[in-house]
């Protein structure tokens, strides 16, 4: 009986999960997404080409590997269809090596309407959602009113759809949202619905399965399964900076409910962190830099959202947040990405604690959003060397290794690999 290894983000998302899953895929038989939906944007680069995946697992470029979209994921058929088309244009045919859980919930066009209505109703307190319908679709799941992938095969699908859509429009109107002016891209709700309905045809052609049986059988057969996370631990619905979070369990616990595997089936937990920190959307970010250093991180790191194109907020690495994420996830191995973005820095800083109301702490406070947090920083000398010249971990500059050792020391977790460019080939395993 083998175990499910897990790979997930330890910060506010965009740590480089897609790239690392792609790099690790040769070591696995099955890659399975367990939560989130098209709010995710996972970038992979190889042979000079860049690919962005939203719903499809990042193992899809390896023909001989199976990919599973688990029950915990949300599927928006029109986005899924676009993603499949984009793969086909790159001569990647996913129909045979992508299985989809019948229990995964659907995002309806009217969930996207509600997402926009909710954000508008929040005014200044808006979350900065990707507006892909994530919150409203998970709300329907928990309220037991959602529609699942398996339902598209049933005779009463249209009826269920119409009823739910009607309810959504009523709620949007109650929120004083202008439904008629609402657009997805440049399409009205009704126009987008046509595209969405057509896309169901694509979805119906895929292997729609009870993926919990499939994955557990794989484990029984000794196959190696990698669970791919989306978002990051600090966006987790329970432990993130609520309410500035996403609507799913982004931590290891989410793997069990999002794929249907027992806690005792979890093997290694690989946690990814950038060598600095980013966040897109609203919410607390104690180490955020508002100066030229922050802008340099954004420019050199190309910190623009893979899903929305918004510029990401940037700052120094936040050890209290990282320690928290390692604790919640039971991280066994760390992967650090993007130190190369700081190659030209004279100095690199690390937040090791917070001062809140005059008291120093390493704990993420309940009042994370309300209190003023002063980050206590320690400083490291910059390595001033181009990291993409290193071919092995041991060749990394001494000054960077000192910085990495400090991360290991403060989290109590070993670093298994460091990534030094967007390309698949530039991952140095220790
Ligand atoms: P994900 O959501 O965690 O998969 O991450 P994203 O794809 O949203 O964002 C990560 C960005 O950093 C992408 O543009 C990647 O191509 C890029 N990237 C990943 N690893 C590295 C790295 O080690 N160095 C640099 N410079 N870029 C990287
Ligand atoms: P990946 O998988 C970064 C953020 C949004 C917003 C909040 C809620 O690429 O790391 P939602 O659309 O879920 O209602 O948005 O969460 N967010 C992400 N930030 N990376 C992501 O995914 C994200 N998915 C959601 O910006 O602040
Ligand atoms: Mg991303």
Of the CATH numbers 3.20.20.70, 3.40.440.10, 3.90.79.10, 3.10.450.710, which one belongs to the domain with range 4-104+207-269? 3.40.440.10
Does ligand 1 lie within 6 Å of residue 419's CB atom? yes
The alpha carbon of 107 is separated from its chain's Cα centroid by a whole number of angstroms, namely 17
Q: pTM of the full predicted structure?
A: 0.97
340: buried, middle or exposed (CB in 10 Å: 19+, 13-18, 0-12)? buried
C-alpha 99/C-alpha 103 separation (Å) is 12
Distance (angstroms) between ligand 1 centre and the Cα of 46 equals 12
pLDDT of residue 309: 87
Annotation says 14 is catalytic? yes
Does ligand 1 lie within 6 Å of residue 9's CB atom? yes
pLDDT of residue 389: 86
Task: Write out pLDDT tens, residues 117-170.
Answer: 999 999 999 999 999 999 999 999 999 999 999 999 999 999 999 999 999 999
| Six-digit token string for 332 | 């066994």
Residues of the chain with CATH 3.40.440.10: 4-104+207-269
**SS3 (DSSP) at 362:** coil
Residues of the chain with CATH 1.10.300.10: 106-203
Instruction: Name 16's Cβ contacts closer than 8 Å, sequence gap at least 6.
Output: 43, 272, 274, 335, 337, 338, 419
**SS3 (DSSP) at 127:** coil
pLDDT of residue 409: 98
Q: Which of 112, 97, 89 is nearest to 37 (CA)?
A: 112
Please give the DSSP secondary-structure letter assigned to residue 350: E
Distance (angstroms) between ligand 3 centre and the Cα of 141 equals 24
pLDDT of residue 308: 85
Task: Determine which one of 5, 14, 22, 426 is catalytic.
Answer: 14
CA distances from 385 to 301, 389, 395, 399 (A): 16, 9, 11, 10
Residues of the chain with CATH 3.90.170.10: 273-418
| Six-digit token string for 394 | 């041991």
Report whether pLDDT(78) > 90.
yes
C-alpha 169/C-alpha 117 separation (Å) is 10
Does ligand 1 lie within 6 Å of residue 42's CB atom? yes
Q: Which homologous superfamily does the CATH classification assign to the domain defined by 273-418?
A: Adenylosuccinate Synthetase, subunit A, domain 3 (3.90.170.10)
pLDDT of residue 306: 82
C-alpha 153/C-alpha 347 separation (Å) is 58
C-alpha 107/C-alpha 138 separation (Å) is 9
Task: Determine which one of 42, 51, 105, 111 is catalytic.
Answer: 42
For the chain, what percent of residues have pLDDT higher than 70? 100
What architecture is domain 106-203?
A: Orthogonal Bundle (1.10)
Q: What residue has token string 């973005």? A: 341
Contact 153, 265 (CB under 8 A): no
Task: Write out pLDDT tens, residues 4-44.
Answer: 999 999 999 999 999 999 999 999 999 999 999 999 999 99
Instruction: Name 93's Cβ contacts closer than 8 Å, sequence gap at least 6.
Output: 87
Q: Which of 283, 250, 308, 312 is nearest to 130 (CA)?
A: 308
Contact 227, 20 (CB under 8 A): no
Q: Which of 293, 417, 280 is nearest to 348 (CA)?
A: 293
């Amino acid at each position: 009986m083998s175990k499910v290894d897990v790979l997930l983000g330890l910060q506010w998302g965009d740590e480089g999960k897609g790239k690392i899953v792609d790099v690790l895929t040769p070591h696995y038989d099955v890659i399975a997404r367990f939560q989130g939906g098209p709010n995710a944007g996972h970038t992979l680069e190889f042979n000079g080409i860049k690919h962005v995946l939203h719903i499809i697992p990042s193992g899809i470029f390896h023909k001989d590997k199976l990919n599973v979209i688990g029950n915990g994921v949300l599927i928006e058929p029109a986005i899924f269809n676009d993603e499949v088309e984009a793969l086909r244009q790159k001569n990647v045919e996913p129909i045979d090596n992508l299985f989809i859980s019948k229990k995964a919930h659907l995002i309806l066009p009217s969930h996207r309407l509600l997402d926009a209505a909710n954000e508008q109703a929040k005014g200044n307190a808006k979350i900065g959602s990707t507006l892909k319908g994530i919150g409203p679709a998970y709300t329907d799941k928990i309220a037991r009113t959602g529609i699942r992938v398996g339902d598209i095969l049933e005779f009463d699908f249209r009826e269920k759809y119409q009823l739910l859509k009607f309810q959504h429009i009523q709620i949007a109107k109650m929120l004083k949202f202008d439904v008629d002016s609402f657009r997805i891209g440049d399409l009205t709700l009704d126009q987008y619905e046509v595209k969405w309905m057509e896309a169901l045809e694509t979805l119906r052609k895929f292997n729609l399965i009870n993926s919990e049986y499939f994955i557990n059988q794989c484990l029984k057969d000794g196959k190696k399964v990698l669970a791919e996370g989306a978002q990051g631990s600090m966006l987790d619905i329970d432990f993130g900076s609520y309410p500035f979070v996403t609507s799913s369990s982004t931590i290891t616990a989410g793997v069990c409910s999002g794929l249907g595997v027992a806690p005792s089936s979890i093997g290694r937990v690989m946690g990814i962190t950038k060598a600095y920190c980013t966040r897109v959307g609203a919410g607390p970010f104690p180490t955020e830099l508002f100066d030229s250093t922050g802008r340099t991180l954004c420019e050199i790191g190309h910190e623009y959202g893979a899903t929305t194109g918004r510029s990401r907020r940037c700052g120094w690495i936040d050890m209290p947040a990282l320690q928290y994420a390692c604790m919640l996830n039971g991280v066994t191995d760390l992967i650090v990405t993007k130190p190369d973005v700081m190659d030209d820095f004279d100095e690199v800083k690390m937040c090791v604690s917070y001062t809140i109301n005059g008291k120093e702490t390493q704990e993420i406070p309940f009042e994370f959003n309300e209190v003023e947090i002063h980050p206590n920083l320690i400083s490291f000398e910059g390595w001033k060397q181009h990291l993409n010249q290193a071919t092995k971990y041991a060749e990394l500059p001494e000054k960077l290794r000192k910085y990495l050792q400090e991360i290991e020391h403060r989290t109590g977790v070993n670093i298994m690999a460091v990534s030094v460019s967007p390309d698949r080939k530039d991952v140095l395993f220790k």
